[in-house]
Structure 1
Amino acid sequence: MKKLLLCLSLMVGLSISTSTFAQKTDAPKYLGNVEGVKEYSLNNGMKVLLIPDGSQSNMVVNIVYNVGSKDEGYGEKGMAHLLEHMLFKSTKNLGDIKKQLSDKGGAANGTTYYDRTNYYEIFPSNDENLKWAIQMEADRMINATILQSDLDKEFSVVRNEFEIGENNPSGVLMEKVFSTAYMWHNYGNSTIGSKEDIERVKAPTLRKFYEKYYQPDNATLIIAGKFDEANALKHIAENFSVLPKPTRQLGGTYTVEPAQDGEKTVELNRSGESKLVAAAYHTSAYADKDYAALAALGEILTADPSGYLYKSLVETQKVSSIWVYAPEVRDAGLMYFNFDVPKDKNLEVTKNLVRTELDKIGSIKYNAEDLGRAKSKLLKQIADNKNNTVSFAISLTEIIGAGDYKLAFLYRDNVENLSVADIQRVAEKYFKSNNRTLGVFVPSANETRVQPAEFRPEQIAALTGNYKGKALEKDVAPFEATIANLKKNVTEGVLSNGMKYGLINKEVKGDKIIATFKMLLGNEKDLAGKNEIGKLTAVLLKSGTKTKTKEQIQDRLDQLKSSINTRLYGQNFIISVNTYKNNYAEVMDILKDMVTNSTFPQNEITKTITEQNTNLEGQLKDPEAIAQNELQRLSSPYPKESVFYTASLQEQIDNSKKVTRDQIVNYYQNILGTNNGLGTVLGNIEAKNVVASLENTFGKWNAQSKYAEVKPTYFETKKLDKNFLTPDKENAIALGTESFKMNQKSPDYPAFVLANEILGSGGFLSARLPMRLREKEGISYGVGSFINIPVSNDVASWGYYALLNPTKRNAVESAIKEEVSKALKDGFTADELLTNKKSYANIQKTMLGMDNTLINLVNKKLQYGISLDEYDTLNSKIADLKLDEVNSALRKYLTLDKVTSVYAGDFNKK
């Protein structure tokens, strides 16, 4: 799916000189500290939130504007989102924003929704990056150029993004349901907007929208992670406090959606294999206490396997899956239910069954067990989010849009204080047939209609004004994001059965513990033809054990604010654990029960196969799924029995239907095991306790099948351009690949990595392919290249991708081939070399500040014996590369004469 200062013309009638700005520097005013979120304000009305976390090595700068699609008028549909794209172009003082973001090597994005727009940058922590990000955000707040020439290119990129969404049946259905549910309020309008408005809007109109809403009194700046607070406040004062407070009054929106007076219905007719039923109910604003009760009720109704709707519809296989969504919005929102329907079910019959079950929501007698289960899951989600500081800072975007950042804490408090009576009350209040979007007008008398409460600004101010939050958490110990420091804090060992482990001593906010385990399984003979069996076995490990039902496992993990996820591909069985220090031992006991005592109930097997097949059926006419699947089949034509064989989408459906419980049990008993495994645990926990738990969980779980690595076969790709038609799909995709022989020990590896960076994957949309197709010609929303260079074999590949309007198929093909040909013929430039070296180094530093990167590096060392120092060694080699080495590597391994390409879309469109 998310992106210096001195302006002489802020709005009509406002003209301020440069010297005036320079004389008006004011320090941010401290307002208070709510659970580690330090709040400040500026005299011009701007709000500032600082969330320091010394355990991070990265920081995020996130600015939120209180403007979204809700604020768009007639002819302006999609303007907020289009403006978000334009603000990545250039400013009067800084110039090319994307190039500078690319040079910095961080992660950046912008997102738009109903109530807000935000822009964020994640960088390695240092004052240079902090100062630049603050300067940049201040500059593009008032000095964006918004050139018609840029808009002429960008509108087609946004249109392509719109078309991508149009390929998703569930997304389009949700959009239609929202639109039908709302008669007057702008929540009924899709954030992506109207394609016609996007195409027709002119730069001067977009500028008026920008000058009205992109002002300090309508913005909240968030800085989170590891940073110097004094310097942050100094930079904010220098760059933002000098901006004058506008004289215009925004006023806000005041439309209140009237009570719905009858069930509505909408029918969507589109090409595709998916069958869906959806229902939406008008509910509450995020600020309303009812929102917490509704969130819990959503879990009580839909959770797998305990939900009432889940049991009545999924458990009985009337639908294959269910999910619920309630946006965190400023005004009264919706609760939306989606039901995926298997291909062989009658849609009309299923719709009536769904309606019947929905009608029971208000009459069900909910109990304390229901509430406890839902609260555990919601509080786990809240804790996980709050204890990931960078993610928390970005997630506050939605809460600020909903009225005030403190609402996030009030929501948590409301969840903690929920009673069964609260659940019963909202179930009876909101879930009436006349408040549902499905049906027709039926005259009747004495209806009790639903009118959600309106929350005016003064009500939210009263809710949040004196809110203090809970006691502050302890400061987390800093952790320097370097290989040298990682080496100091890693302990390695071997369990009694031969499984290798690594322990990273790193304190994480909230005392979180994160672990990833990788088990190497089987051999060519024992795994032959068992791909679908293996994948299903991994998914079903949490479906019940000799001591616990699936429901009991999930309930306990939610109560412990923890998760265990398992997946399998080829010879790799992956287990991911996310928990907390105090709960670690019990979570590992649950994992042990799963891996040693699973029972694989037949009804869970049937449900899982139905759910997976329904998802696959939805992909049978999806361009992206088809292209990925067919390219893999064309470029790697393994025999069907091979562990590397890629089955067609229909084959996957057919194969999974043939899987029996006996096959799953046999795979579980003979193939799975940890004696050829490895794994890393990260957190602040005593090594002896971790080792003891690992030994207890994995030390005696041994596979009967002897492990022998199955080496991939090298298939030389051939020049091929193949079309796959997907009628009535608005978006198309181009994918291509070329195979060659290389591994990460090759002398050419560093040069080829950098060559790919320059060609298609480096920087922030600044590599050659995105610059040509997205920035210059506007014919692709997403375009780039990628490489797959293995460690233990030499079967490597380069590839590219591009999302496009089907009518641009030939233009995209030509542009990609021209750019690759130009790079091969003329080579890259010295400036490109220097710029991408810098951005690559910064990206690697950013990556090293992420816990998953640290875990993956240690696991790589455990599996392949590769020293942690290789991370720095590779970066040093890339930094020392000469231009001719990079150009030579590109020409040695890449040629258009061997690129296999597939194009999937409705290419009959005119």
Structure 2
Amino acid sequence: MKSFLMLCGAATIALAAAMPAAAQQTSKPVPVAELVKRVDIPYEEFTLKNGLRVIVHTDRKAPIVAVSTWYDVGSKHEPKGKTGFAHLFEHLMFNGSENAPGDFFEPLKQVGATDFNGTTSFDRTNYFETVPRPALDRALFLESDRMGYLLGAIDQAVLDEQRGVVQNEKRQGDNQPYGLVYYKLLEELLGGTAYGHNVIGSMADLDAASLDDVKNWFRSHYGPNNAILVLAGDVDAKTARPLVEKYFGKIAAGPKSVLPTVTVPTLPQSKTVMMKDRVAATMILRSWAVPGLNDPDSVPLDVFGDVLGGLASSRLDNELVRKDKSAVQVSAGIQSMSQLGIFQVQAIVKPGVDANVVAKRLDEIVADLIAKGPTADEVQRVATTAVSSRISGLESVGGFGGKAVALASGELYSGDPAFFKKQLEETAKVTPAQVQAAGKKWLTRPSLTIMVEPGTREAYQEAAAVPAAAKPAEGAAKAEPFKGTRGAMPDVAQIGDLDFPNVERTKLSNGVEIVYANRTAVPVTQMVMSFDAGVVADPANKLGTQNLVLSLLDEGTTTLDSTKIAEARERLGASISTGSSADRTYLGVTAPSPNLGGALDLFADVVRNPAFAPDEIERLRATQLTGIAAELTSPQGLANRALPPLLYGPGNPYVKLAAGGGDPAAVKALTRDDLFAFYRAWIRPDKAKVFVVSDRPLSEVKAALEARFGNWQGTGTAGTKAFTVAPQQVAPRIVLVDRPDSPQSLILAAQMTPLDPASELLVPVTANQALGAGFLARINMELRENKHWSYGARGGYDWLEKAVPYTIAAPVQADRTGDSIKAIQQQVGDFLGAKGITQVELTREINGTTRELAGRFETSGAVLSAMQQNDLRKRPDNFYDTVTQKYRGMTVAQLDAASRAALDPKKFVWVVVGDAAKVKPQLDSLGLPVEVVPAASVAGPSAPAAK
């Protein structure tokens, strides 16, 4: 089941006769070309004397500004022997600069920054944060300081620290199923080009990096003339220019990155590489090197990929998944880089099916599309998808994909900030003939096929632990801090409190409540129908029923089959999604507001008229069983199954969380009657509440819902949740789930707290920001920044409707598993003992949490989520209008008391997923019973017994 967010297509839809007559209110969708005209990001630009290019976009919807700095340096610029340097430097540039010593997340958190991070790709490195408008000076000071005043703050200790973090980031990726495929893909397909090695680099090159190496790398690439600065939000060019001049103008220009010479490589002949891994199903990955995003064939190839395997109604989905039922998952598309791209076709083979047969059918489908070309309707639906995705993403000013990203990437890769719009215009007018010609030109060349089969992963050098010589001496003193020359960071003026959107409530004639908020930044309506069900509603002896029901809902109604539903969504520009949490089951629809009527027609048909067709049941049963098997190969999947029985005990409904995607034996035995029984008991109006965020007025939204759901009535008896057994946590112990050949161990530590989920938990949740929840929290700083044993660790309360457990998750390098548990125990013990929250930590959390609210609720999706959480937790609808005063009234004593009442350092139960042969000796000395269980033992609903 795929979920897409799309805008309007070119046709109306004939819907189920079972729908009420009043619901037949489709409107003609707006043509895609017309939609493209409405997609715009007005901007102004200027260049400083030192070469810094600056782009400014004004968006006054919220008092926030996105600051995005892009450097023309990525892994393609790395010479042999220095792979991973660009990504390593991304990390180093977060560790403070000469005039802003210490971690950059500290001053950003203090001012209420949101969406702050950095990324490295083949083509570039970028840093971004969204800050309240009064904090813009500080953000510019920080960005300019790491651009022009960094090297004095980098010493051997900082280098060793971030080298260790990066190597654990690498291990974390390698440790996943299929985690080694991308190395082989780049080596075989792009070897010999600047794109022929992974962005994260090799362990050997990272180990060999010297302090002089990395400083010279910085001098060569991070000057202002090699950068683009984008400011998007509550700012204009007239205001921005003197600020940028003030903070960046005195930084001297440096060398300009030299664009490597890259030609699209062609293999001498098609090649197949066989790999084995601890995976649940065989994967076929077929790849071609193709032109980069500035090539005239880039857009036609992109459309070819979506027609082939990008849309929910794609050729591969229809033929391999729906018709042949030989694959459980398929995809196709381009990974577009600046100077070349990788066209990929992927299929996850249904267990028991010959992978070679699937590969042959895949070839036939690709060849047929090349020979006959796509239909005009397919191309139109792809264009709709592209425009829709862009419009939806442009609600954000910054982050990973907002307006600042669109402007910066266009300028860096194509010399045009508005390049994104040219791409959309080309997509809207591309013809089937152009798509066919591009496919024929590039995809009839020799291909690389990688087939990954279930088996024992071969040993590989990258899994090795950090050599002893490269490990920093623990406790070694850092060099004397560099004396800054620019003075203190700018102060931040008063930041206003949040004005959360007004929330209104009304009811349909059948009693279903509507909870509504108006947002006008984009012409989109987002709606969630939330049912009082969730994982706890799954039948105890048929775990996995709900998952199968939800996967089937948008795969066939009484009048539309799965393909027709997918096509209808794509033409309308609607997405229909399903999902569940422990306590709630969700059905959602998102659509451009001009197409809301048609989208709700389709949504109502899916909600009210499921077919549960026998053929679809068998197809999706196989998909679900494959997904369950995949969970048993994943560190996170295994841990999530092993923990709940230890935390909740037998008889408590939350122990059903241990089933993950389901109990395989139960899923195999489910009947159509079982599915209808669950649907009738739980997917019904007396269990439902509708949450809506839209640019359309409540009266219009209510009328649209009333026409389609106002006469909906439940059938039979509604389901009930039986919370008759309280959680019964087992005695402290360690359950070690054996996953051989794991370069990392995943640690989960958890305990059931005495907190009342029906009360307001703002105080203990806020206190936990200092212990486990944020980047600067003690657990993360200890394991990541101080010890370098993890890429990141987190801890937090899971605020369920009937219980509040606390869980810590830490993926750590395998040889430090036992030491990491000791470190976690030390941090928790100190925090709950003599080293409770400090005034500095409290001030940081209160400042950051209150100042970030405007950025936190910038998007409609964030508002929609907050509305649901407030309702579930019995908070008033205006909770976030009043929360600032609650935060400001908190004290150190209050937060300490709340944490100590909630947590006991001696009561944690532990689940460790790792290589038992390497890990168990480290655990035996921790003073807790250690139980080793094979991965297969957590497949059923009982998991490790609560002894």
TM-score w.r.t. the length of structure 1 is 0.86
Aligned counterpart, 1:893 = 902
Aligned partner of residue 195 in structure 2, secondary structure: helix
Aligned counterpart, 2:927 = none
Aligned counterpart, 1:39 = 45
Answering whether residue 185 of structure 2 is matched by residue 173 of structure 1, we say no
Aligned counterpart, 2:371 = 363
Per-residue CA shift, 1:316-348, capped at 9, x if unaligned? 122211122422211121101221123323344
What displacement does 1:211 show? Answer: 1.3
CA distance in 2, matches of 1:330, 1:522: 44
Answering whether residue 572 of structure 2 is matched by residue 560 of structure 1, we say yes
Aligned counterpart, 2:792 = 782
CA distance in 2, matches of 1:395, 1:837: 30
Aligned partner of residue 272 in structure 1, secondary structure: coil
CA distance in 1, matches of 2:367, 2:645: 47
> Structure 2 vs 1, CA of residues 898 and 433 (structure 1 numbering), >3 Å: closer, same or farther?
same
Answering whether residue 525 of structure 2 is matched by residue 513 of structure 1, we say yes
What displacement does 1:779 show? Answer: 0.9
Aligned counterpart, 1:716 = 729
Q: Which of 55, 60, 67 is the equivalent residue of 1:54?
A: 60
Answering whether residue 634 of structure 2 is matched by residue 622 of structure 1, we say yes
How many residues matched? 826
One-letter amino acid of the structure 1 residue matched with residue 507 of structure 2: V
Per-residue CA shift, 1:463-489, capped at 9, x if unaligned? xxxxxxxxxxxxxxxxx9966552xx3
CA distance in 2, matches of 1:855, 1:481: 22
Per-residue CA shift, 1:681-730, capped at 9, x if unaligned? 22221322111112123222233333545437322353112211211222
Aligned partner of residue 696 in structure 1, secondary structure: helix
CA distance in 2, matches of 1:573, 1:579: 20
> Structure 2 vs 1, CA of residues 869 and 388 (structure 1 numbering), >3 Å: closer, same or farther?
closer
Per-residue CA shift, 1:819-851, capped at 9, x if unaligned? 111122212322222222222323445323343
Aligned counterpart, 1:146 = 154
Q: Which of 408, 413, 419 is the equivalent residue of 1:402?
A: 413
Aligned partner of residue 631 in structure 2, secondary structure: coil
What displacement does 1:531 show? Answer: 4.3
8 Å CA contact retained: 1:523, 1:707: no
Aligned counterpart, 1:500 = 513
8 Å CA contact retained: 1:671, 1:703: no
> Structure 2 vs 1, CA of residues 836 and 41 (structure 1 numbering), >3 Å: closer, same or farther?
same
CA distance in 2, matches of 1:522, 1:365: 44
Aligned counterpart, 1:839 = 848
Aligned partner of residue 895 in structure 1, secondary structure: coil
8 Å CA contact retained: 2:177, 2:633: no
8 Å CA contact retained: 1:178, 1:189: yes
What displacement does 1:293 show? Answer: 0.9
What displacement does 1:633 show? Answer: 2.6
Aligned partner of residue 685 in structure 2, secondary structure: coil
Q: Which of 126, 134, 158 is the equivalent residue of 2:133?
A: 126
Aligned counterpart, 2:238 = 230
What displacement does 1:856 show? Answer: 3.4
Aligned counterpart, 2:819 = 811
CA distance in 2, matches of 1:280, 1:392: 29
8 Å CA contact retained: 2:534, 2:582: no
Q: Aligned-residue CA RMSD in angstroms?
A: 2.7
Aligned counterpart, 1:98 = 105
> Structure 2 vs 1, CA of residues 91 and 887 (structure 1 numbering), >3 Å: closer, same or farther?
same
Answering whether residue 783 of structure 2 is matched by residue 773 of structure 1, we say yes
Q: Which moved more, 1:539-548 or 1:203-212?
A: 539-548
What displacement does 1:877 show? Answer: 3.2
Aligned counterpart, 2:305 = 298
Structure 1: gaps (5+ residues): 1-32, 440-479
CA distance in 1, matches of 2:895, 2:768: 9
Structure 1 outlier segments of 4+, above 6 Å:
522-526
Aligned partner of residue 295 in structure 2, secondary structure: coil
Q: Which of 675, 679, 683 is the equivalent residue of 1:668?
A: 679
Aligned counterpart, 1:686 = 697
> Structure 2 vs 1, CA of residues 869 and 333 (structure 1 numbering), >3 Å: closer, same or farther?
closer
CA distance in 1, matches of 2:411, 2:193: 20
8 Å CA contact retained: 1:678, 1:859: no
Q: Which moved more, 1:387-396 or 1:776-785?
A: 387-396
After TM superposition, the structure 1 = structure 2 runs for residues 596-745 of structure 1, keeping only pairs within 5 Å, are: 596-639=608-651, 642=653, 645-648=656-659, 652-704=663-715, 705-706=717-718, 708-711=720-723, 713-743=726-756
8 Å CA contact retained: 2:535, 2:656: no
Q: Which moved more, 1:273-282 or 1:383-392?
A: 383-392
8 Å CA contact retained: 1:672, 1:702: no
CA distance in 2, matches of 1:541, 1:549: 11
CA distance in 2, matches of 1:905, 1:527: 32
Aligned counterpart, 2:479 = none
> Structure 2 vs 1, CA of residues 621 and 367 (structure 1 numbering), >3 Å: closer, same or farther?
closer
8 Å CA contact retained: 1:142, 1:211: no
> Structure 2 vs 1, CA of residues 481 and 320 (structure 1 numbering), >3 Å: closer, same or farther?
farther
CA distance in 1, matches of 2:894, 2:661: 45
8 Å CA contact retained: 1:722, 1:903: yes
> Structure 2 vs 1, CA of residues 55 and 635 (structure 1 numbering), >3 Å: closer, same or farther?
same
Q: Which of 357, 371, 383 is the equivalent residue of 1:375?
A: 383
After TM superposition, the structure 1 = structure 2 runs for residues 553-592 of structure 1, keeping only pairs within 5 Å, are: 553-569=565-581, 572-592=584-604
Aligned counterpart, 2:29 = none
CA distance in 2, matches of 1:621, 1:328: 30
Q: Which of 340, 346, 349 is the equivalent residue of 2:348?
A: 340
CA distance in 1, matches of 2:663, 2:170: 30
What displacement does 1:136 show? Answer: 0.8
Aligned counterpart, 1:65 = 71
8 Å CA contact retained: 1:785, 1:799: yes
CA distance in 2, matches of 1:568, 1:99: 35
One-letter amino acid of the structure 1 residue matched with residue 52 of structure 2: M
User: Structure 1 vs Structure 2: percent identity of aligned residues?
Assistant: 22
8 Å CA contact retained: 2:380, 2:428: no
CA distance in 1, matches of 2:385, 2:136: 36
Answering whether residue 553 of structure 2 is matched by residue 547 of structure 1, we say no
Q: Which of 797, 800, 822 is the equivalent residue of 2:805?
A: 797
8 Å CA contact retained: 1:773, 1:779: yes
One-letter amino acid of the structure 2 residue matched with residue 502 of structure 1: V
Aligned counterpart, 2:402 = 392
Aligned partner of residue 320 in structure 1, secondary structure: strand
One-letter amino acid of the structure 2 residue matched with residue 99 of structure 1: E
One-letter amino acid of the structure 1 residue matched with residue 718 of structure 2: K
CA distance in 2, matches of 1:484, 1:255: 51
Aligned partner of residue 682 in structure 1, secondary structure: strand
Aligned counterpart, 2:214 = 206
Answering whether residue 873 of structure 2 is matched by residue 868 of structure 1, we say no
Aligned counterpart, 1:456 = none
8 Å CA contact retained: 1:531, 1:570: no
Per-residue CA shift, 1:535-572, capped at 9, x if unaligned? 22122211122333322322232233321212234552
CA distance in 2, matches of 1:408, 1:211: 31
Per-residue CA shift, 1:362-401, capped at 9, x if unaligned? 3234322222222222222233223443332354355455
8 Å CA contact retained: 2:326, 2:358: yes
Per-residue CA shift, 1:192-218, capped at 9, x if unaligned? 111111122112101111111111111
Q: Which of 273, 285, 299 is the equivalent residue of 2:292?
A: 285
Aligned partner of residue 878 in structure 1, secondary structure: helix
Q: Which moved more, 1:189-198 or 1:615-624?
A: 615-624
Aligned counterpart, 1:216 = 224
CA distance in 2, matches of 1:737, 1:522: 22
CA distance in 2, matches of 1:373, 1:543: 18
CA distance in 2, matches of 1:513, 1:39: 33
One-letter amino acid of the structure 2 residue matched with residue 225 of structure 1: G
> Structure 2 vs 1, CA of residues 650 and 241 (structure 1 numbering), >3 Å: closer, same or farther?
closer
What displacement does 1:149 show? Answer: 0.5
CA distance in 2, matches of 1:605, 1:891: 49
